Chains A and B, each alone.
Chain A
Amino acid sequence: MSREITITTLKYNPSDENSQPTFVDYTLEETPGMTLYIALSKIKASIDHDLSSDFVCRAGICGACGMVINGKPKLACRTLTSEFEDGKIELLPLPTFKLIKDLSVDTGSWMKNMSIRVNSWIVANEETDISKLEKRIEPEVADEVFELDRCIECGLCVAGCSTAIMREDFVGAVGLNRVARFSIDPHDSRTDEDFYELIGDDEGIFGCMSLLACEDHCPKDLPLQSKIAYMRRKMVKID
């Protein structure tokens, strides 16, 4: 049995001076297994050619389609319309990030700034000869690094974060998790003192108020709470 659903989205084009933020209702027939990707694609093709949104992989792995769905930051492509019993779904663009248009926001620039800010890369003091056997790593250690490397930079942790709303330069759980990831990577030669230089302030590890919306909304179920606590304990020792 199919039913009608109503999707209400914010529409606004900040680059157009005649544009005013408005809510628009779209009514459409729900199909079995319908995701918000499928629903929004239908709306864009057949109801409103002017609606903008961002989808890339539509499989929940690229992190492009974060939006606020009935009040919660979520990935739209892996949200099924059947999850909403009354068939009413309200969509808003992710806060914190710069709005491009409607549901499309600029997460790319934010994530790039964060990555550069926390030096999100391996710093090694030894050269690697790629013709020779690779460095040996304990299997469990590789697995631990992988666990934290699963972050997809979707920005849901940032959109749900109170500190990020108050402090424009806060690196967010995504940034703190990244530092934790490099700190346990045996290929990285940086010390805790080096990491302190990067995140030992209120825009970094000491900005977190431990409200933990980041972990609640992480689509990858990353252990953000324990990793932020772990980094804070390390950084406090240096402070």
Chain B
Amino acid sequence: MQIKYTDALIIGGGLAGLRSAISTTDKGLDTIVLSLVPVKRSHSAAAQGGMQASLGNSIMGEGDNEDVHFADTVKGSDWGCDQEVARMFVNTAPKAIRELAAWGVPWSRVKKGDRETVINAEKTTITEKDEAHGLITARDFGGTKKWRTCYTADATGHTMLYAVTNEAMKRGVVIEDKKEAISLITKDGQCYGAIVRDLKNGGLIAYVAKGTMIATGGYGRIYKQSTNATICKGTGHAIALDAGAYLGNMEAIQFHPTPIVPSGILLTEGCRGDGGVLRDKDGYRFMPDYEPEKKDLASRDVVSRRMLEHIKKGKGVKSPYGDHLWLDISILGRKHIEKNLRDVQDISKTFNGIDPADEGEKGWMPVLPMQHYSMGGIRTTPKGQSVNVNGLFSCGESACWDMHGFNRLGGNSVSETVVSGMIVGNYFADYCKETDIDIDTKMVQEELTKQDNYLDELLALDGKESIYDIKDEMRNIMQDKVGIFRNGKDLEEAVEELKVLLKKTKDINITNKHRLLNQELEEAYKVPMMLKVALCVAKGARDRTESRGAHYREDYLKRDDENWLNRTLSYWANEDDLEPTLAYEELDIMKMEMPPGFRGYGKKGFIIENPLSQKRQDEIDKISEEHQGDRHALQEKLMPYELQAEYKSINQRLGDEDE
């Protein structure tokens, strides 16, 4: 058996992992990135519509800055996020996008003069300023005050991933693809690396490192219907659980309003951002009736619920796959679609035989909300280190550091991947530089042997269950009972049924007995991992008796700031347990820069207020009134936060001095 040594081990080769690898390499550390697939095929590539950064170059983004982006993000999260992390993020996002531009991402640019666009379903002419010509432009997205989402047509994640991978290769980062981490090596609360399976030959290797980072993305595939790639199974979360790490807010699951039916492939929010609208079976545009202000562009949790509400009223379109609604982008015109929404057009034509540029009904695409994003993840500090396992870091979608709270804004995730790769990647690098570890090779060998034996045991199982059936059942349970609308009874059933399934995984029969290249064996060790993650989601949802962001309880309709302004922590207390143990971490209103209030969209009057919110608001008002100086100094007074100097520096915008 093989043991490899490195300074920094990064599990996951999407945008977050690769950008972190650049940070560690730039600080002189030996770095290895492990990836399930060739890194350019990571799910980051599927991000379509764009990346939020408050550049404010386009006329429709004029006046944008970090403060506006911060407020949008906090409201979007339904006050569940860590506001210091949100501040770190919004201040670094403009730097991230400028770095990416220099690395070759061909961001769409402002063209001076008039251009026609569609706003509120009507053709409108806007005039871009001469002085903004050639700077990075932006489109509209849900839940934002300004047009802030920068893009390369609808292939933004793709161009970002290629640029970051190319930079990593330029620096000589060691990238090993078709490698899967199946457990972490830990002792006494310290992480020493991972046990890894080589998917090209089935062999096991121990990677020993001073610091280990998990950047494995989301866990959407625990649901039957998800926009996520087939590799988004949450195995990174599962190995962290097994190592004793806390996961945060696992019940916070985002359902995107417009995946196409039935394949579940995403159609970007940019469709609506650019002026597309939702329609019902009568062709009627219904969103303005529910959300008069933001209409089709309220936050994703709100739009998804409104869509299902409308279908429940009998307004859905009947199909063999159940009821759906229509997404109409034909009003944007063929020219716009074929330039800025061409992947959407390609997907719709290929999988549904519909050309969305065809005028009228003919071009409408069938859509239905489906699982899309995992707000929860490995609970870390704002510097990205696990709160209870030393030397274990996480960033990107796999982490809960926690910038999204209970709902993420569109355009904030692909942005988070690179921003956290910069910030957390650098803190991770500092940790690896400053840390020396004693390597107990016997312990490493023991963990390797343990995993080796485990795979043999799985192959030897001679029970009566099929691992494929167990997986299907899990995905159905999550779909039916832990979905957009949740209630105590269903959630209780879900938890109990998932526990039964987890037990059944010890009674399976693997028909394919090859020890090396065997995709059935892979299912056999992955499905129990997925079940553990699913149990964290279901139990967290069962016990959270309130509605916040994407977590919506039909039996507890209000956001409860009095009792539930906290973060769920789940962990696996004993190896043989059938369910996680939950704990809670309070959010401190008195430290918030923006205390809880109404989001500006969604149902009004559904908040159980915490008296501290008003108290903190009064305090903030007083400080603001007395404040002399610029907005940066005021922000520092209201909520000081730590960030690397190179990222904390002031972002220049058009019109600022010394351009």
Contact = CB atoms under 8 A, between A and B. Distances in A.
B652 A57 contact: no
B106 A61 contact: no
A49 B511 CA distance: 7
B106 A57 contact: no
B106 A185 contact: yes
B170 A131 contact: no
A187 B135 contact: no
Contacts of A209: none
Contacts of B96: 130
B654 interface: yes
A86 interface: no
B108 A142 contact: yes
Interface residues of B, number: 77
B38 A108 contact: yes
B474 interface: no
B262 A33 contact: yes
A139 interface: yes
B169 A121 contact: yes
Contact of B265 (A52, A55, A59): A59
Given A50-B520, A56-B229, A33 B158 contact: no
B441 interface: no
Given A33-B262, A61-B46, A146-B153, A107 B106 contact: no
Contacts of B45: 57, 61-62, 152
A49 B41 contact: no
A106 B201 CA distance: 12
B512 A50 contact: yes
Contact of A134 (B40, B135, B230): B135
A64 interface: yes
Contacts, number: 199
Interface string B58-101: 00000000000000000000000000000000000001111101
A15 B516 contact: yes
Nearest to B231: A56
Contact of B229 (A52, A57, A131, A139): A57
A190 B421 CA distance: 28
B33 to A, nearest CB: 12
A29 interface: no
Interface stretch (A110-118, A165-173, A191-199): A110-118
Contacts of A54: 37
A45 B527 CA distance: 13
A101 B178 CA distance: 13
B519 A52 contact: yes
B526 to A, nearest CB: 13
A35 B158 CA distance: 23
B41 A64 contact: yes
Interface stretch (B159-167, B297-305, B530-538, B621-629): B159-167
A180 interface: no
A148 B654 CA distance: 29
Contacts of A153: 38, 40-41
26 contacts: A16-B514, A46-B468, A56-B41, A62-B40, A63-B41, A64-B37, A100-B178, A108-B39, A108-B41, A122-B102, A128-B99, A128-B102, A132-B652, A133-B652, A133-B659, A134-B101, A136-B109, A136-B134, A137-B106, A137-B134, A143-B108, A146-B159, A149-B106, A153-B38, A182-B104, A188-B104
Given A62-B43, A139-B133, 13 more contacts: A33-B352, A35-B263, A49-B520, A55-B230, A58-B263, A62-B37, A62-B229, A112-B38, A120-B166, A143-B108, A145-B106, A150-B158, A152-B158
Closest 4 CB pairs of A and B: A108-B38, A136-B134, A121-B166, A128-B102
Interface of B: 37-43, 45-46, 55, 95-99, 101-104, 106-111, 133-136, 152-153, 155, 158-159, 162-163, 166-167, 169-170, 175, 177-178, 200-201, 229-231, 262-263, 265-266, 320, 339, 343, 346-347, 350-352, 468, 510-512, 514, 516-520, 649-654, 659
